[in-house]
Every structure is written in structure tokens, then in C-alpha cells.
A = this chain, B = another copy of it.
Amino acid sequence: MNRTVTVYDIAKEAGVSVATVSRVINSTAPVKATTRDKVAALIEKYHFQPNGLARSLLSKQSKMLGIIMPNIKNPFFPDVFRGAEIRAAKEGYALFLCNTLGNEETESAYLSILRDKQVDGILFLGGRVNRVRCPKDRVQEVAALNQRIPVVLVNGQLVGSGCCRVYTDEEQGMRMLVEHLLQAGHRRIGFLGGMIDDSTTKQKLKAFTDTLQAAGVEVREEWVLHGDYSMTSGMNVMNRLLELAERPTAVCCVNDFAAIGAIKALVGRGLRVPDDMAVAGFDDTPLASWYTPELTTVSQNSELLGETAIEVLLALIRKQSARKSTVLAPELVVRQSTGR
């Protein structure tokens, strides 16, 4: 096996020093035309490409970023990823994608790997680490990491970590959604959440409760149920709800997946959406507009979210000032699943 070509090989064959080769590669200082051409020809001949690791070692920036998320299979995350990727690519950064499935060990393991790989920054999307309540040592783990490598929390919160945050105002989104349901005449509204300690669930539930109370509508404890964020869980939770003696006429779901699962459960019992029960999702994933019935949901503008998060991260990397919190406005998207 032929060893990889290095600047030294090029230099030797061109009869110049490695410094000159480097100068030709990076146009960092003038080189005599004939020399330049000779070196350039050799680079072309061997398809030489400098070793990025060696360069990174010296420059102390790897041009690599890590993005950690619970589950790439939930279409919300690919959307965010795309936004992040587009923005990152523009600045020459490549992205490690790390799925944790909400598993804490996996999360820690990835954190360690990313540090090992010397990523310049990390994007954290709503995972375990983004919980409202979180063991002190996890907070400290992230806080310590954040001292070395900039970490941006996306749609999440980790009090005491000192990380910058970029998030959609999910509370406002839920408020708009509930108000839409109230306006449509619903007075019996349920809530299908995710894990109760995740900030995304917590915020939505808070807005749900507040908005109903402000309107003088009762919040029925038995109609507030929790699952995870999968379709299966949405279906199961809805089935539990349907076993109650009294049912709501509408439910808000923590995300589109849960909504679809819920609808499946309803349809499975011969109930119709929205006639028998209105169902609303959250995130406005592509699914939402293609599902039958089309889903009423709250758009997060997920790509923009990813893009913005990267922008904040880049600012931190460049030691420019970045605001601690960047909030994006959600948008209510009314479709068939709650419609008249």
C-alpha cells in the first residue's frame, strides 16, 4: 500500500521546502510563478490534499461541530438538522450527528466522543440534558463542557449550565392553539404530553393550563396524560383517554407524532376527526400537511431554528457576543384535524 502523499513528498519532488508548498496551498505569501506552477502541478498529479487533522492540531479549530438529538426518526429533528447543516456548511463546518434516544449513558458517551474529536461547538436538541429538573452532576457535566466547548441548547433549558439557548416560544404556540380551540367552541380539552420533566412538555402544559384558566375553563386532571413522543405512545395514551367515562371534545398533543398516534386510536374505534374529537399536533412536520386529515399544528420553523442555533454557536466560537436567549415565534397552522 502506497503511503499517503504529504507536503514533504511534494516538497522533495519539487526541490523546494515544505514551507513553500504550504504557501502555494494557502496563498499565504507570494511565491515565484515558476515555483508555484511546479508545486501546483505535483499537487494535481498526486491529487494531494492536506491532512485536515494536522492543520486542526495547529490552528486549534477542527471545523467540526456536534449535534446531539434524541431521535432522528422524529421528522422535526431532520428539519432542524437541515437548517443547521446548511448554515454550517456555508462556513465550512461539518456536522457529527449523535442520537441519544433519551438515554443518559449514550448522551454522556457522545459528549465525551465529541470532546475527543475536538469539535468546535455542540448543538443540543431537546434531550435528557434539556430537562427542567436535572441531577446536579448532569448540569455540572454540561457546565464544565461549556467552559471548554461552546454549547447551545435548542428548545431546551438547563438551569445553571450557563449555555446559550435558542428556542421557539412553545408556550406562546400552545397558547395560540388553545385559544383557537376555545374560539371554535371547545370547552372540554385534553392534553397528551411527553415526559413530564422535559422542558418542552413542561412549557406546553403550563401554557395549556394558564390559557384555559384565563378563559375560565376547567382543567381536568384526568385529561392530562403523558407518554413519550412516539406515534405508538400517542395511540396508547389516547386509548387510555377513551376509556374514561367522560371525554374531551379536543386534545392538544405534544408533537405531530403523538397526534397521529392519537388519531389512529380514534379511527381504530370508529371515531372521526375532527367531528368526534379535534386533535392538534405540534411542530408542523412535513407529515402534518400530508396526513389525512391534515393536522392543525404549531409551526416551529424548524429549519430556521437550526440555522439560528448554528449562528449563535458560531458567534460563541468566534468569541463574539451572543445573546443568552434567542426566541423564535411560533405560528399557528389551522388545518382539518380541528376544523369545521
Instruction: Using known A-B contacts A4-B148, A264-B290, A267-B292, determine if residue A72 contacts B62 with beta carbons closer than 8 Å.
Output: no
Measured in the bound complex, the distance between the Cα atoms of B290 and A263 in whole Å is 9
Measured in the bound complex, the distance between the Cα atoms of B51 and A249 in whole Å is 57
Instruction: Using known A-B contacts A53-B53, A115-B49, determine if residue A73 contacts B64 with beta carbons closer than 8 Å.
Output: no
Q: Closest Cβ of chain B: how far from A233's Cβ, in Å?
A: 12
Instruction: Using known A-B contacts A57-B57, A118-B51, determine if residue A97 contacts B99 with beta carbons closer than 8 Å.
Output: no
Instruction: Specify the chain B residue showing the minimal Cβ separation from A106.
Output: B89
Question: Do most interface residues of chain A lie in helix, strand or loop, or is the interface mixed?
Answer: helix
* Copies of this chain present: 2
Interface extent on A, as a size class? 35 or more
Any chain B CB within 8 A of the CB of A325?
no
Measured in the bound complex, the distance between the Cα atoms of B77 and A97 in whole Å is 13
Instruction: Using known A-B contacts A4-B148, A73-B75, determine if residue A81 contacts B57 with beta carbons closer than 8 Å.
Output: no
Instruction: Specify the chain B residue showing the minimal Cβ separation from A98.
Output: B94
Contacts of A73 in B (CB 8 A): 75, 78-79, 82, 286
Known: A264-B290, A291-B291. 7 other contacts (CB 8 A): A49-B112, A52-B116, A89-B109, A94-B114, A96-B97, A264-B292, A267-B292
